[in-house]
Amino acid sequence: MSDGYRAPVEEMLLVLRAIGGIETLPPSAERPEVDLETCRLLLEEAARFAAEVLAPLAPRMDREPPRLADGEVVTTPGVKEAYARFIEAGWNGLVFPERWGGQGLPRLLQAATDEMWNAANMTFALCPLLTQAGIEALLAHGGDELCRRYLPPLVSGRWTAAMCLTEPQAGSDLGALRCRAERSEDGYRLFGQKIFITFGDHDLADNIIHFVLARLPDAPAGTRGISLFLVPKWLPDEAGRPVRRNDMRCLKLEDKLGIHGSPTCVMAYGEEGGAVGYLIGEEHRGLRCMFTMMNQARIAVGNEGLGVAEAAFQKALAYARERVQGRRGGRPVPILAHPDVRRMLLTMRAVTAAMRCLCYETAAWLDRSERAPRPEERERARARVALLTPVCKAWCTNRAVEVVSLALQVHGGAGYIEETGIARLYRDVRITPIYEGTNGIQAIDLVQRKLFLEEGEAPWALLRELWEEGERLRTSPLAAASGALMQALSVLEQATKELQQADADDREAAAMPYLELFGWSVGAVLLARLARSAAETALGPRLIGAARFYLEQLLPQAAALAGAIRAGVAALDPDWLGEP
């Protein structure tokens, strides 16, 4: 049974052009120029794969999770075949350099395909997401030998990767980890356990490459003493063939609220003498390498939220058009006729469109950080990516949970029943504000670090661009709604100025309301730009309407966050909580 998802290809193409500027991205030696017709053909093919292969598999992955049999993880029937088709089509290596077997296409284009994979089947999409994060770490820090041996099978998808960071006592506080590494003649030997390892073991690929944080015996305390190691499930020979099982195994699979089809593993290393591992980067400098993986994954998790939100909106809209309930003018009507239902659907529509703009905008800046011809342009782009990453991850996933909750509400009691599929989407999307550093951590990163990039100039460069776009709104079809945008930008500007001057405790107390204001404001500007660009197209009326609803109905609520931002840590007195 099809899960009903159909990718909005025309709108995606418009966002690629109007927001991402895909036709003007600078080419590079390893990342050639791409034309709009190539983009269309690729997105249409991805849309077919998502609708015909991934979406029908999602309900079964939810009902029949992987199981642990004789120490090996067996995935849901049909997943192995779908994954084989996925890598055969080349989707895994879309953006990676051609010399390693990739296609060298823009990351902006991958943002669109990732949206499709997540909308159709987020649980499946978790596997390539983690492999791609591991590839990024090797490209940046791996060295010639590790890249030569491991990149080709990882880029192709014949091998997959897993990020192995968390331990029971060391979740977000990685400085507390206890997994240890010892130097040996053939590299390093690792000992310890990791928890919450997504796709840490499975039967989809010939090998699984773990990227493991561990501590050497002479390591300094805290995060400065962490090293990153590549630990393959199967040790390859000189020809790259996996020949010998490494000393690592899956102890158990977690029973989770959602993402049932994704094996979340408790992994043990070194029970029989030590798991062979290879250093990535330098000893005691693993956190830097890990953040290369983590930051890419954070942007990808923002895309997870976008994809699931789009899928939920499509389901809710279809249901609202078909479900007859109540009467208006003496006649039975579908629930779409009721203003409250329309309000929920318009909220979902407008917010999802803004999320798409923000995710694609972030990907486009990531492309510029790699492709721009001049060093100063690349440096500016890197600062913009760093500024947008926590907002892309946290604001989009916060909104995704709200959008899917609204979709469930539109369905009424039927939404609470598994048969409609909305309950599954709600359970699946709830992990996204937790993944890759909780959204609270993203907000703290924004106010404690990212506001001070380029000696504090990075947010002001963005604000100047937002104001310029706001001025253009005054002579557009959205002129009547421009006042709400100007008000939000004024609040954001003042809050930015105050937080740059505040002490660390007050900044941290303001972190989440500030991130929310930041996300709502940037989303408003990008959605308004998209609507202006669409004015003369068939999508114009819908996008102008969505942008107007966003500016008039949703953005004023965000501007009201000024008081919460200004209140500081004194407004969060733990004594007010009372005793449990």
**Per residue in 25-43, pLDDT tens?**
887 666 667 888 999 999 9
Q: Please say whether the beta carbons of 43 and 12 come within 8 A.
A: yes
pLDDT value, residue 2: 38
pLDDT value, residue 1: 29
Task: Give per-residue burial for 122-159: e unless 16+ CB within 10 Å, then b.
Answer: bbbbbbbbbbbbbbbbbeebbeeebbebbbbbbbbbbb
- In the set 11, 115, 167, 436, the catalytic residue is 436
pTM of the model: 0.96
Element (H, E) at 164: strand 159-164
Joined together, the tokens standing for residue 325 give 């309930």
pLDDT value, residue 29: 65
List pLDDT tens digits, range 479-507. Answer: 999 999 999 999 999 999 999 999 999 99
pLDDT value, residue 172: 78
pLDDT value, residue 287: 87
CA distance 550 to 523: 9
Q: For the chain, give the percent of residues with pLDDT over 90.
A: 88
Return phi, psi of residue 369, to 5°.
-65, -20
Helix (H, G, I), strand (E, B) or coil at 333: strand
CA distance 535 to 393: 29
| Ranges in the chain, pLDDT < 50 | 1-2
Q: Crossing angle for the helix pair 107-141 and 286-322, nearest 10 degrees?
A: 160
DSSP string of 81-132, one letter each residue: HHHHHHHHTTGGGTTS-GGGT-----HHHHHHHHHHHHHHHHHHHHHHHHHH
pLDDT value, residue 31: 63
- Alpha-carbon dihedral of residues 63, 67, 73, 74, nearest 10 degrees? -60
Residue 436 annotated in active site: yes
